[in-house]
């Protein structure tokens, strides 16, 4: 009697692919199961201002370009000097690949630099850890400032509409609470998986040493003002890439930059949940906040569906471009 052994790496890989897709699919199905998708076509053709959407594209591209340029800065103190073009293309590839396997892009971009410019994979990975820590800190600061300045906005909204926080909580359906809980659990699972991955690297002393050097590399950046400029540029471009889409629709064009900041911050936090490009959690979070600002439920659904879909296609297009472009670049 033969016993078939389970290939744990294969099971882990399949879980990382299908669990995020299943989670995203479940949330999107719950949000759109009775949605009239034919009406979206009418909105796209007759009610949407495409000029503003097109104007938002350069900012979406520049956010990734700035990230590639900043990455080169953190690698320089480690005596690693990838070409500027390769660094940027690796970022394009990483974002596109993360649509298939969430968070896999961090490893993919390190692999691209190793393959084309012989950059140490472990050192590059360490700098990615540093980047994420810096970005997380910036998001926390922006979140705190946004909430501080939005307290008055929420107060005015509650006063004019007669809405109370208690009423909002009671308006949440049991399914809404369930989706929120699932997103929270998924985020905790992601943190657990990341810790497990770091434990694997800790088994190799030389590798973890390189990672640690990569983490500390930010302290050796030669041009700190430029590093700060790139960091602010990344998130400034992310915000403008999102904010300009408000002007694509009549029902969001008058909401103002305050609403854009609040929904941007909430959306940025939602994408922590491991789904492709935040699909599902991002839709749910941003839609909920737009409704809080007085946008009708159906219009909020139009907004999150159209904006997220188009911006995802941009990420895919950049990934395809990078894949083709790298095929013509000689390895160092």
Q: Does residue 257 fall inside a structural domain?
A: yes
Q: Does residue 1 fall inside a structural domain?
A: no
pLDDT of residue 1: 45
10 Å CB burial of residue 175 (0-12, 13-18, 19+) is: exposed
Give dist(CA 136, CA 265) in Å, integer: 12
How many other C-beta atoms are found inside a 10 Å radius of the C-beta of residue 98?
21
Q: Does residue 20 fall inside a structural domain?
A: no
* Structure-token match 């700190």, residue found: 224
Tokens of 106: 């961090």
Q: Give just the sign of the alpha carbon dihedral 311, 313, 316, 320.
A: negative
Q: Does residue 299 fall inside a structural domain?
A: yes
**The total number of structural domains that make up the chain:** 1
How far apart, in Å, are the Cα atoms of 38 and each of 34, 123, 245, 299?
12, 49, 21, 14
Q: Does residue 43 fall inside a structural domain?
A: no
Tokens of 87: 């660094």
Task: Select from 300, 245, 302 the least CA-distant residue to 38.
Answer: 302
Rounded to two decimals, what is the model's pTM? 0.77
Q: Does residue 40 fall inside a structural domain?
A: no
pLDDT tens per residue across span 137-174? 888 888 888 877 766 655 554 454 444 555 555 555 56
Give dist(CA 246, CA 259) in Å, integer: 10
- What angle separates helix 174-202 from helix 205-216, to the nearest 10 degrees? 120
Q: Taking the chain, what is the end-to-end CA distance rounded to the nearest angstrom? A: 53
Give dist(CA 157, CA 47) in Å, integer: 27
10 Å CB burial of residue 295 (0-12, 13-18, 19+) is: buried
How far apart, in Å, are the Cα atoms of 219 and each of 78, 155, 231?
11, 42, 15
Residue 64: what are its φ and ψ, rounded to 5°?
-75, -35
Q: Are 276 and 20 in contact (CB under 8 A)?
A: yes
pLDDT of residue 163: 44
Q: Could you give the 3-state DSSP secondary structure of residue 332?
A: coil
CB under 8 Å to 195, separation ≥6 — which residues?
Answer: none
pLDDT of residue 166: 56
- Domain around 100: 48-326
Task: Select from 211, 217, 218, 213 the least CA-distant residue to 122.
Answer: 211
Q: Does residue 13 fall inside a structural domain?
A: no
Q: Does residue 53 fall inside a structural domain?
A: yes
How far apart, in Å, are the Cα atoms of 141 and each of 24, 75, 235?
28, 25, 12
Report residues of the chain scoring pLDDT below 70. 1-21, 23-24, 150-220, 273-274, 276-277
pLDDT of residue 218: 61
């Amino acid at each position: 009697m033969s016993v078939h052994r389970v290939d744990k790496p294969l099971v882990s890989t399949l879980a990382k692919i299908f669990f995020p897709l299943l989670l995203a699919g479940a949330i999107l199905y719950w949000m759109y199961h009775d949605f009239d998708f034919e009406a979206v076509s009418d909105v796209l053709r007759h009610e949407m201002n495409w000029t503003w959407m097109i104007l938002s594209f350069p900012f979406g591209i520049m956010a990734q370009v700035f990230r590639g340029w900043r990455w080169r800065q953190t690698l320089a103190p480690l005596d690693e000097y990838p070409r500027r073009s390769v660094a940027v293309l690796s970022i394009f590839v990483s974002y596109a690949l993360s649509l298939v396997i969430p968070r896999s892009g961090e490893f993919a971009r390190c692999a691209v630099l190793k393959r084309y410019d012989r950059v140490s994979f472990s050192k590059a990975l360490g700098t990615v850890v540093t980047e994420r820590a810096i970005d997380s800190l910036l998001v926390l600061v922006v979140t705190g400032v946004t909430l501080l300045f939005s307290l008055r906005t929420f107060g005015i909204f509650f006063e004019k509409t007669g809405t109370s926080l208690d009423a909002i909580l009671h308006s949440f359906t049991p399914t809404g609470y369930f989706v929120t809980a699932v997103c929270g659990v998924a985020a905790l699972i992601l943190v657990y998986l990341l810790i497990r991955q770091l434990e694997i690297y800790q088994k190799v002393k030389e590798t973890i040493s390189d990672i640690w050097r990569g983490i500390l590399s930010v302290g050796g950046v030669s041009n700190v003002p430029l590093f700060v400029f790139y960091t602010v540029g990344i998130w400034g471009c992310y915000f403008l890439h999102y904010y300009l889409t408000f002007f694509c629709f009549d029902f969001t064009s008058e909401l103002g930059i305050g609403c854009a900041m609040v929904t941007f911050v909430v959306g940025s936090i939602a994408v922590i949940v491991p789904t492709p490009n935040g699909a599902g959690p991002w839709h749910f979070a941003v839609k909920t906040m737009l409704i809080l600002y007085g946008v009708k439920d159906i219009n909020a659904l139009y907004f999150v569906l159209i904006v997220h879909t188009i911006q995802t296609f941009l990420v895919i297009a950049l990934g395809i471009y990078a894949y083709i472009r790298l095929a013509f670049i000689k390895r160092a």
